[in-house]
Structure 1
């Protein structure tokens, strides 16, 4: 009787996968997508900064008290990263240190903490993925209009509200035969495209067995259009990386060490490209992928100047001070990782790199049931994280987009310590039916005539659907 009861409760848990997204996570995504800027005296604030200023102290206390589970290595890396970049500004620019700690540091930490506190189960993660897909789809009509006409309907609406700072487009550049770059309410077109690209795998991979294949394909196609309308090679690159990872996973699902093989092959390919090219391999690759190849040479020069400056100020960085660029260069570094080491020092970069790479390795080694909800969530999240890490070497993010990057990081940390019963819910649901059958007629004792499949034999394995 106890085993039958446990089996029933397991199936009941598996079918009850719909769970509401916590209000704080929903509100955070909204204010990151619709930033409203205003002045309070000499201080410029936004809705996202106000939100984080209110909740970050409480979320930090709850994290330290263990209300979101035990503090893990990712939490420590993130906390150290925020501490070090704040310390760097106190040393390099003490006149703005308090403002920085109260706004920028809170915004960076806030994105991570909101996700860490809100996404605690597989069901919540699935709901988050659905909500992000819905949010991206809502932007598509506005992106089409902006790409074709250079008119931002949402931006014009926000600018008409009294008391809010006027928001302007970062660029009116035309590419690909006269198309404008869709930006919506983000700080730059690359931020809009990058935002959408980070939802690509979450919609197509993480929602498998929760959303039909047709709906997931529609999500992927629509999100791909959003990325394209940003006319940003960085956003398209992020989406392409995820698509390649999906194809590799599907084509090599029977290969024992499929990911070690991919990693080894990628390293060998990069080494060969480095040897064969007359410039750094990453620059050679980007020059062939960029919509505007002239920007690649500028990035190369900035990389050279940046690494030289890091060698001079390796510990605390240069802060917001001038670092000796030629007058004709703008100083905008399209390399998020390089920027961390340049401005805040190498320790800050190491902490952030550890916070992004280590959870991927640890979660990737967890023994989740094949084709379970957690297995799909893990694949979708790791594909997103890999593309994010690689693409951040070609773009710079700040403000709301920086917070969203940290939010995506924090949304998958729950998989480090998720309980085993969550990992097995899909397997329980697909298991053999109970031997008890209900009928109006008397049932003769004896073995059931229904053959029970053994999942460990060839005959008992269910046919897996392709990704």
Structure 2
């Protein structure tokens, strides 16, 4: 009878699901021998199956989400604070300290360093362009919205148990929001902001021409675009995280609510995000038995890009923008933004132009509807490469992490699809304030699924 090595025994243990569903709840397995959900020699520093989410951390997660939706602003010296930035300011030191030094935060590595580099370089770019005195407020805001928001995601969401709790709270919140969002769109009134105004001064409602006879739902965000990007980013994460056990009813209700809220913003970015996620779901389903399905998809997209470039009189970017926007006027404006924006980057590739005006024809608005382009224009190419690189590295590491538990695999798929679709969608819109904070927080949340040097095929 052949002898099994210790390594074989370790691999056998690693195949045991690290979490289990008991009475409809995700719980960690009790075992005399500890196992890991992500089991790899260079994987998570904190095994996800040992995560215990106390009442304090749950309260912090809920408080973060509540403050994210409060549409108020307050002056604090040179800073203009919102409830969520006040939350981040109060937690800046503990979040940063835990992120940097605590063994409870798993998988610290290059993505974390890239986020820190992004915040530092963007701050330096602001100082170079407009001097230290005028840069204090935007630098403070930038650090809170980028680095501290990312740190909050890393500290608060450390494993599948806390991620499941986040998904449940988001699901419940979006279900509660839906009736008012529908009323706001049909009645063409900013109902959320009208109700919130009884408790204090709120952000201003955005008055825009109706689309298809409906008001573009703004809810409690500064613009319908921002609300749409936020709600669409929830779809895959919430639906996949709540796929198992007693969560299924909430899963379907929240999925419908997310789709309807996103559609009612009537935003190109939100619809692009939804369609991207639906496409990824379909591909995952059709090729679920093919371990190389994502490499195959990447090869097909690359081939399509080359074919369009060869046979079309327009560039692939122009073709994409034309089909991804509501109108020819909107697509033409985005093409102009790309042309004049990239020209600005070519003139100021290192530090950008800070918060200054970018050169463009007089008939063009100052709005630059491309989040990635804005990063390069404002802070230079190093800042863009750092932020985009952090997101890409997180996605690659999540995709290649060996995961035994089907619950955690679904959670990984959901977070990957949500982040990838958002990354595509914000190529046609810009993010600021709460929506930017949410993106960095969501990136931080994915850190527990992204071990360094993982090297298995995506499941």
For this structure pair, what is the TM-score category when the shorter chain's length is used for normalisation?
0.7 to 0.9
The runs of 4+ residues in structure 1 deviating greater than 3 Å are 10-13, 18-21, 40-43, 210-215
Give the superposition deviation at 1:34.
1.6
Q: Deviations over 1:384-434 (max 9, x none)?
A: 11101111111100001100000111111011249x9xxxxxxxxxxxxxx
Could you say which residue in structure 1 is the equivalent of 2:32? none
Give the TM-score normalised by the residue count of structure 1.
0.82
1:88 to 112, 117, 125: 125
Structure 2: how far apart are the matches of 1:169 and 1:311?
Answer: 36
Secondary structure of 1:93 counterpart:
helix
Q: Deviations over 1:362-383 (max 9, x none)?
A: 12111112x6111111111111
Give the superposition deviation at 1:168.
1.7
Structure 1: how far apart are the matches of 2:287 and 2:319?
Answer: 29
2:68 to 32, 39, 42: 32
Could you say which residue in structure 1 is the equivalent of 2:349? 314
Structure 2: how far apart are the matches of 1:410 and 1:332?
Answer: 28
Give the alignment of 1:221-260 within 5 angstroms. Answer: 221-260=256-295
Structure 2 alignment gaps of length 5 or more: 1-8, 28-52, 455-459
1:72 to 99, 105, 109: 109
Kindly indicate whether the alpha-carbon contact (under 8 Å) linking 1:104 and 1:399 is maintained by their aligned counterparts in 2. Answer: no
Could you say which residue in structure 2 is the equivalent of 1:383? 417
Give the superposition deviation at 1:85.
0.5
Q: Deviations over 1:61-96 (max 9, x none)?
A: 222223424531111011001111111111112232
Give the TM-score normalised by the residue count of structure 2.
0.84
Kindly indicate whether the alpha-carbon contact (under 8 Å) linking 1:53 and 1:106 is maintained by their aligned counterparts in 2. Answer: yes
Q: Deviations over 1:133-182 (max 9, x none)?
A: 222222211211111122122201222334x3x42222322111x11100
Q: Flag the 1:360–1:47 CA change in 2: closer, same or farther, 3 A.
A: same
Give the superposition deviation at 1:197.
0.5
Kindly indicate whether the alpha-carbon contact (under 8 Å) linking 2:211 and 2:266 is maintained by their aligned counterparts in 1. Answer: yes
User: Which structure would you say has the larger Rg?
Assistant: 1
1:161 to 195, 199, 202: 199
Give the alignment of 1:291-306 within 5 angstroms. Answer: 291-306=326-341
Kindly indicate whether the alpha-carbon contact (under 8 Å) linking 2:17 and 2:406 is maintained by their aligned counterparts in 1. Answer: no
Structure 2: how far apart are the matches of 1:150 and 1:38?
Answer: 28
1:413 aligns with 2:447: yes
Q: Flag the 1:207–1:389 CA change in 2: closer, same or farther, 3 A.
A: same
Q: How many residues align?
A: 409
Structure 1 alignment gaps of length 5 or more: 421-467
Give the alignment of 1:35-434 within 5 angstroms. Answer: 35-40=71-76, 43-67=79-103, 68-69=105-106, 71-94=108-131, 95-162=133-200, 164=201, 166-176=202-212, 178-211=213-246, 213-369=248-404, 372-417=406-451
Give the superposition deviation at 1:213.
4.5
Structure 2: how far apart are the matches of 1:87 and 1:97?
Answer: 9
1:17 aligns with 2:53: no
Kindly indicate whether the alpha-carbon contact (under 8 Å) linking 2:237 and 2:418 is maintained by their aligned counterparts in 1. Answer: yes
Structure 1: how far apart are the matches of 2:363 and 2:128?
Answer: 29
Kindly indicate whether the alpha-carbon contact (under 8 Å) linking 2:228 and 2:265 is maintained by their aligned counterparts in 1. Answer: yes
RMSD: 2.3
Structure 2: how far apart are the matches of 1:107 and 1:12?
Answer: 34
Secondary structure of 2:26 counterpart:
coil
Q: Flag the 1:108–1:261 CA change in 2: closer, same or farther, 3 A.
A: same
